Amino acid sequence: MSFKPKIFTEAIKVLIWINIGLFILKELSASQVDLALLFGLSPNTVWPMIWQPVTYLFIHGGIFHILINMFVLWMFGSEIESIWGRAEFLRYYFLTGIGSGLVWLLFNFSQPTSVLIGASGAIYGILLAYGMMFPNRTVYLYFLIPIKVKWFVIVLGVIAFISSFNSYSNISHLTHLSG
């Protein structure tokens, strides 16, 4: 009996379709309603809008934001879901996503109008799990440069840590790091 992970597991399919659907809706409705303000995570509105620690995971800022997150989710998450099962995978995905959002809130209460969007905290959680499960596997950075997963994850963590001290970016490196 051999183990062969599915190319698209059930939870991965659902997560990707929800993200794509909401991204299209966000782009089409941009002139009527700002879905990032409604579903993004914000210190100013999180208490009356208690869904935000979950829904911010499904709103993305631009095409590259969603493409990279969904590619990494598919690339690393499918195998993890195949091993853990759908329920355990989703539990971990939402735990890391919600957890990283709450860490972001703690550090951003002094900026009440800031808004966090995107699945990057959960994606970094998936990368960490994959790195711990398969540390000596090789992945190809930019499809060209071979690197062991453990070093890939460590390098991404170091970049997120160093970048978290830069307040000139719209990227929440703290969320990446806490995922």
Amino acid at 138: T
pTM of structure: 0.88
Crossing angle, helix 86-108 and helix 63-84, to 10 degrees?
140
| Domain definitions of the chain by residue range | 10-178
User: Is the distance from CB of 116 to CB of 56 less than 8 angstroms?
Assistant: yes
Cα–Cα distance between 5 and 163 in angstroms, integer? Answer: 34
pLDDT, one tens digit for every residue, the chain (179 residues): 455 657 889 999 999 999 999 999 999 997 788 999 999 999 999 999 999 999 999 999 999 999 999 999 999 999 999 999 999 999 999 999 999 999 999 988 999 999 999 999 999 999 999 999 999 999 998 889 999 999 999 999 888 887 777 765 555 556 655 55
Sorted by sequence, the CB contacts under 8 Å of residue 164 that are 6+ apart come out as 173, 174, 177
Identify whether the C-beta of residue 92 lies closer than 8 Å to the C-beta of residue 84.
yes
Domain 10-178 has CATH 1.20.1540.10: yes
